[in-house]
Each structure stands twice: as C-alpha cells, then as structure tokens.
C-alpha cells in the first residue's frame, strides 16, 4: 500500500496593531481543529526558542532599520526551516500570526525601507515560501489606535505615530492588490459575530479546496 501524506495548508493572519487579529487566531485554530485537521499555531517574530529571543530584542531595543529587518528575517528563516516546513510536510495546517507580509508593511512601508530590499531578503532567506491564504484584518487608523491605547504597555512598534501606521496600512493594501488570490481582506470594524460568520464560510471553502487540490494530485 502506498502511504501518502497530504501537505498541510499554510495560513497567515496580518493587520495593524489594534486591528483585532489576535482575538481571531485561537478561534481560527479551534475552527480548523473542529473540522478534524491537525493544526500548529505559531507567530512571528518568534515561533522558535531563538526567534522568541529575537522577538524580545526587536520589540524592546532600539536599532538601525537594516538591523531590524535582518533580525526579522533571521527569526523567520529559523522558523521556516525548524518549524513551518517540517509541520507542513508532516501534513499539519500551520496558522501563523504574521509572516513576511508584515516585513513588507512595517519595514518596507512604515519605516520606508522600500519593497525591493524586503523582496531581496525574502528571495535569499526563504525563496518560494509564502502562505496559501492570508487574512488581512483591516481597520481605519483611528480604530486601531483607539483599541491599542486601551491595552497593555505599548512595545516599540505600537508606540509609532500616525504617519507610520498610515504607511504600514497602505503597504498592506498594496500587497493585497499584488496578490488578490492569496489575500482575503477582513473588515475588522464589523461586529465580531459578523466577522466570524464570514470567516466560517471562507474556512469551509479553503478546507474543501485544499482537500480537493490534494485529492487530484494523489497517486
């Protein structure tokens, strides 16, 4: 008998700080598990012991923009090779709280490094690795800021000003325009039940499509 492990599906969630993304991550994981899927939930920067150490530095220590971008990709490279690819190869679905799109948005857009430097690092460190589906939780700036200031002490990114987040949001929107098949935009100003009802429909479609893609490839 030929045993065939179906490759898992790679999902990322993105959005400005305060867009409500984090509320939906555990819910999404539960939804996938309820459909009988094996799920690994992880985050960036982080996801490995080294990545979590880098995360702490990135969120707390002031540094040159190029250093910041390199450290984001160092954490990502470790994460991809040690965690994400092995999990996908073993058939797990991977839900990642932020991935490379966040570098395009925050470093490329927010910090004005530009798209091409981020693209060069992506091509070098993790060529060809991108999510199968990305949900972008989108809210106007004022809403994100309002939600953020209600929360805990702010980290180095969250303390940035309005213009930074305006550019970050714009860069996210540009990513959506460039890759409309991968991104689904979520209007995160809607009530949580409405957002979840819409996501439920999209999750069902994704599970169905991912299953049938693989069925048609099976030996």
Which spans of this chain sit near ligand TMP (rule: CB under 6 A)? 17, 43-45, 72, 97-98, 102-103, 106-107, 157-158
The tally of CA atoms less than 13 A away on the side-chain side of residue 166 is 4
Q: Which is nearer to ligand TMP, 92 or 100 (CB)?
A: 100
Q: What is the widest separation between alpha-carbon atoms in the chain?
A: 60
Shortest distance, position 37 Cβ to ligand TMP, whole Å: 23
> How are strands ordered across the β-sheet holding 10-15?
39-43, 93-97, 10-15, 133-138, 183-187
Q: Which is nearer to ligand TMP, 140 or 211 (CB)?
A: 140
Shortest distance, position 143 Cβ to ligand TMP, whole Å: 16
Q: Which is nearer to ligand TMP, 37 or 54 (CB)?
A: 54
Q: Which is nearer to ligand TMP, 98 or 210 (CB)?
A: 98
Shortest distance, position 142 Cβ to ligand TMP, whole Å: 18
Give the chain's radius of gyration (CA, Å). Answer: 17
Shortest distance, position 13 Cβ to ligand TMP, whole Å: 9
DSSP of 31-94: HHHHTT--EEEEESS-SSHHHHHHHHHHHHS---HHHHHHHHHHHHHHHIIIIIHHHHHTT-EE
The tally of CA atoms less than 13 A away on the side-chain side of residue 204 is 6
Q: How far is residue 127's CA from residue 138's CA, in Å, rounded to a whole number?
A: 27
Q: Which is nearer to ligand TMP, 55 or 210 (CB)?
A: 55
Shortest distance, position 207 Cβ to ligand TMP, whole Å: 25
| Residue 15 · residue 136 · CB < 8 Å | yes
């Amino acid at each position: 008998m030929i045993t065939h492990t179906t490759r898992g599906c790679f999902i990322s969630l993105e959005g400005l700080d305060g867009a409500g993304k984090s509320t939906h991550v555990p819910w999404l994981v539960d939804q996938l598990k309820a459909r009988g899927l094996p799920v690994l939930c992880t985050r960036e920067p982080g996801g490995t012991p080294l990545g979590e150490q880098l995360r702490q530095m990135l969120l707390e220590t002031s540094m040159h923009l190029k250093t910041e971008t390199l450290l984001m990709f160092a954490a990502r490279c470790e994460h991809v090779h040690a965690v994400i690819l092995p999990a996908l190869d073993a058939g797990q679905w991977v839900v990642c709280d932020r991935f490379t799109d966040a570098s395009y948005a925050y470093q490329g857009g927010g910090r004005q490094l530009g798209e091409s430097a981020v693209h060069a690092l992506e091509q070098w460190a993790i060529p060809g690795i991108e999510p199968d589906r990305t949900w972008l939780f989108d809210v106007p700036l004022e809403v994100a800021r309002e939600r953020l200031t209600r929360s805990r002490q702010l980290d180095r990114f969250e303390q940035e000003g309005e213009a930074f987040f305006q550019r970050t949001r714009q860069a996210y929107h540009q990513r959506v325009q460039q890759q409309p098949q991968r991104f689904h935009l979520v209007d995160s100003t809607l009530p949580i039940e409405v957002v979840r009802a819409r996501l439920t429909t999209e999750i069902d479609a994704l599970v169905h499509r991912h299953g049938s893609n693989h069925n048609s490839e099976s030996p």
